[in-house]
């Protein structure tokens, strides 16, 4: 039971206890009446009064029992009403959640074609990138080959340059030698 239900039960129990106290008071009153009327001279009158008091007690006891039953029924009605309200709230929450789930399903279904288009676009872009990558790799190979050729040609040119330098130096030495020889010959003449 929750706090409200517990308080309601306590209230109803108080009523039952109060009813029991009234019953005790009635029993005392009956005893007093019986004592008072026992002094009445006529036994018929006494029996009549006692019967009236006993029937009143029975009636009051029945009424108290009926009140307790009604109170208990009211308590049960309240507990049932509280539980029905909780169930109703739970059902409302469940229905709202169900509607939200349905809305999400609808959105996902609506979004699915866009995802498929995006997926196709992604596949096409991947294929295009693969082709471009192969083209780049092919161009890299060509560049590497051309670089090797250029390097080889540069090495050959350097070798030719060194050979030319050596020849030029050799020719300069030969010219110098010829010039000296020529100068020496002129001087001797």
When pLDDT is cut at 50, 70 and 90, the band that residue 95 belongs to is very high
Higher pLDDT, 53 or 36: 53
The percentage of residues in the chain with a pLDDT greater than 90, rounded to a whole number, is: 9
Say whether pLDDT at 26 is over 70: no
HEC secondary structure over 82-129:
HHHHHHHHHHHHHHHHHHHHHHHHHHHHHHHHHHHHHHHHHHHHHHHH
Report pTM.
0.36
Q: Give me the pLDDT at residue 165, please.
A: 87
Say whether pLDDT at 89 is over 80: yes
Say whether pLDDT at 184 is over 60: yes
Domain ranges of the chain: 3-138
Q: Is 29 exposed, middle or buried (0-12, 13-18, 19+ CB in 10 A)?
A: middle
């Amino acid at each position: 039971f929750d706090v409200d239900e517990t308080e309601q039960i306590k209230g109803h129990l108080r009523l039952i206890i109060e009813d029991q106290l009234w019953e005790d008071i009635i029993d005392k009153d009956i005893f007093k009446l019986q004592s008072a009327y026992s002094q009445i001279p006529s036994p018929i009158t006494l029996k009549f009064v006692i019967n009236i008091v006993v029937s009143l007690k029975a009636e009051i006891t029945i009424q108290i029992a009926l009140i307790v039953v009604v109170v208990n029924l009211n308590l049960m009605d309240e507990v049932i009403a509280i539980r029905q309200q909780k169930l109703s709230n739970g059902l409302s929450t469940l229905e709202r959640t169900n509607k939200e789930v349905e809305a999400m399903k609808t959105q996902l279904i609506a979004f699915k074609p866009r995802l498929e288009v995006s997926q196709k676009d992604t596949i096409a872009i991947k294929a295009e990138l693969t082709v471009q990558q192969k083209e780049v790799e092919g161009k890299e190979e060509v560049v590497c080959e051309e670089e090797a050729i250029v390097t080889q040609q540069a090495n050959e040119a350097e070798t030719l340059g060194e050979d030319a330098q050596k020849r030029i130096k050799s020719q300069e030495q030969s010219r110098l030698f010829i010039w000296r020889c020529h100068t020496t010959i002129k001087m001797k003449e």
